Amino acid sequence: MSLDNETGLDSPGIRVRPVSGLVAADYFAPGYFVWAVLIANLARIGYEEKTMYMAAYDWRLSFQNTEVRDQTLSRIKSNIELMVATNGGKKVVVIPHSMGVIYFLHFMKWVEAPAPMGGGGRSDWCAKHIKAVMNIGAPFLGVPKAVSGLFSIEAKDVAVARAFAPGVLDKDVFGLQTLQHMMRMTRTWDSTMSMIPKGGDTIWGGLDWSPEGYFNCSAKKLKNNDTNTADQNGKGGLGSTKRVNYGRIISFGKDVAEIHSSEIEMVDFRDAFKGSNLINATKCDVWTEYHEMGIEGVKAIADYKVYTAGSILDLLHYVAPKMMARGDAHFSYGIADNLDDPKYQHYKYWSNPLETKLPNAPDMEIYSMYGVGVPTERAYVYKLTPPSECYIPFQIDTSAEGGSEDSCLKGGVFSVDGDETVPVLSSGFMCAKGWRGKTRFNPSGIHTYIREYNHAPPANLLEGRGTQSGAHVDIMGNFALIEDIIRVAAGATGEDLGGDRVYSDIFKWSENINLQL
């Protein structure tokens, strides 16, 4: 599954390709549905293979490289044109999920851009062919989870597993070096860099503030269909007793995560010397870029103490230079000052909603549909691991607990509202504010709608993964979400659905973000 670490394309002599057709992603494994429930329900209102198209793509590649290697973007364009032409000119409803959301954002720019970089469809292609884009679990602005994955090949679940069974994943037990192999592999997948948080401190917060402000992770689970809004002080059902510095995406030590920034002594790491590696790496089955950093490089990272969305990019450039060199050619994470600048015609900007314009398609609709009410990773407390053979020097500190005073910190992970993978801020901000009405990011005034689904776990084992789940993948079986999609696929508009349906504080949090529109 690894790609070439220099090109981001096939490794020599190895060729892995996505399956095509509806079976490509109906089930992940027998009994574990992905798109199957939605496909079956669309079939009940008359859809079939000639009116449904599964746009399978190699999710390891950078978005533009799916076209270079497989012509995937051209195939999507041709299939949409064919469906419109053979169905009386009726426009398509596009339903992307997760990374597919920003992949399709890239497609909408590619399809209208001139060849050879783009698809040559001209500036009215989207207006002519797309009725609505119904984004599910959209990581529009990236996910903090991607940072921990790239930095230490961890997320909350891996950190918990490490705490239960120290050493099993790391090194000598069984001699597997599992995490090292995972890091080596995933750092060849350029697509992972599409998930790095976008918008820097303006969107995600700085050392002493974050848009979410207060949040109570220990609030009781809401009953089905209950709405949930905070009071004027931000201390309602999702209000908290203690302010959380969510802007500090990585902190080395719980104390660093909590004290005021004026009390933190940060030693710049950017020009730190890499070398003097005292660790014997001869017994390593797999090479990672940490083998080249040495003790001084590792110490420099920890001495900087705390990283926000603005400094995360420098951190990743330092610890994974080969990966980020490829990533810089395909992705960007800033905020455009002037969207008419010719540089934004380059494909590296097309999947960042803060550096690109939506198409000129005033009759098109864009939905952001996502779960809420599930604690979702937002920031991390890290520690250095003791030097050893083949080690990954950084690790989430699972001993960092907030207790009753700070219920949002558990096992070294600060949580916020979301769908377990994508925070509400990333899924909701663009449709709540960035694209709402006519803005510089949405000059034609495409109507945007937020449809939130309040998470309710399965009532019993017979319910399987639940019919009211808001979790990132299980939401694909959420009855309310399926009903919304079926109604739009049958001709309804966002107004027919009732406009926005919001349980979180996304509108309030969006107002805390000072972004020129």
Domains and CATH numbers, the chain: 22-140+337-372+421-512 (3.40.50.1820), 144-219+243-332+373-416 (no CATH)
pLDDT at 167 over 90: no
CB-CB contact of 94 with 369 (8 Å)? no
pLDDT score, position 233? 35
In Å, how far are 3, 101, 186, 243, 300 from 139, measured between CA atoms?
24, 7, 19, 25, 31
Q: Give me the residues paired with residue 409 across strands.
A: 414
pLDDT score, position 163? 59
**Residue bearing tokens 């976008």:** 198
Catalytic position from the list 97, 191, 472, 505: 472
pLDDT score, position 456? 94
CB-CB contact of 256 with 317 (8 Å)? no
Q: Are strands 92-94 and 130-136 parallel, antiparallel or unpaired?
A: parallel
**DSSP character string of 35-92:** SHHHHHHHHHTT--TTT-------TTS-HHHHHHHH-HHHHHHHHHHHHHHTTTTPPE
Q: Give me the residues paired with residue 27 across strands.
A: 33
Catalytic position from the list 170, 406, 417, 419: 419
Q: How far apart are CA 466 and CA 474, in angstroms?
A: 7
For the ranges 191-200, 211-220, 296-305, 361-370, which has the lowest average pLDDT? 211-220
For the ranges 55-59, 145-149, 164-168, 392-396, which has the lowest average pLDDT? 164-168
Q: Give me the residues paired with residue 250 across strands.
A: 307, 380
pLDDT at 173 over 60: no
pLDDT score, position 309? 97
Confidence label for 395 from pLDDT (cuts 50, 70 and 90):
very high
pLDDT in tens, 238-261: 444 566 789 999 999 999 998 999
Higher local confidence (pLDDT), 439 or 297:
439
pLDDT score, position 31? 83
pLDDT at 19 over 70: yes
pLDDT score, position 235? 35
Which of helix, strand or coil describes residue 254? helix
338 Rama sector, left if φ>0, alpha if ψ -120 to 50, beta otherwise: beta
The H or E element spanning position 380 is strand 374-384
Whole-number average pLDDT of the chain: 89
Sign of the Cα torsion 161, 301, 333, 250 reads: positive
Q: For residue 144, what are its two tokens?
A: 């903090």
pLDDT in tens, 329-382: 999 999 999 999 999 999 999 999 999 999 999 999 999 999 999 999 999 999
Q: For residue 363, what are its two tokens?
A: 């009759």
Taking residues 264-284, what's their average pLDDT? Answer: 71
119 CB burial (10 A radius; 0-12, 13-18, 19+) = buried
Respond yes or no: is residue 74 known to be catalytic: no
pLDDT score, position 271? 76
End-to-end, the C-alpha distance of the chain in Å comes to 41
DSSP state of 405: T
pLDDT score, position 226? 40
Higher local confidence (pLDDT), 268 or 244:
268
Of 193, 202, 513, 140, the closest CA to residue 335 belongs to 202
pLDDT at 280 over 70: no
pLDDT at 278 over 80: no
Cβ count near 161 (within 10 Å): 13
Confidence label for 174 from pLDDT (cuts 50, 70 and 90):
very low
Confidence label for 237 from pLDDT (cuts 50, 70 and 90):
very low
Catalytic position from the list 98, 191, 240, 504: 98
pLDDT at 279 over 60: no
Of 499, 495, 503, 513, the closest CA to residue 426 belongs to 513
Q: How far apart are CA 414 and CA 250, in angstroms?
A: 10
Respond yes or no: is residue 419 known to be catalytic: yes
pLDDT score, position 161? 63
Q: How far apart are CA 274 and CA 296, in angstroms?
A: 6
Respond yes or no: is residue 472 known to be catalytic: yes
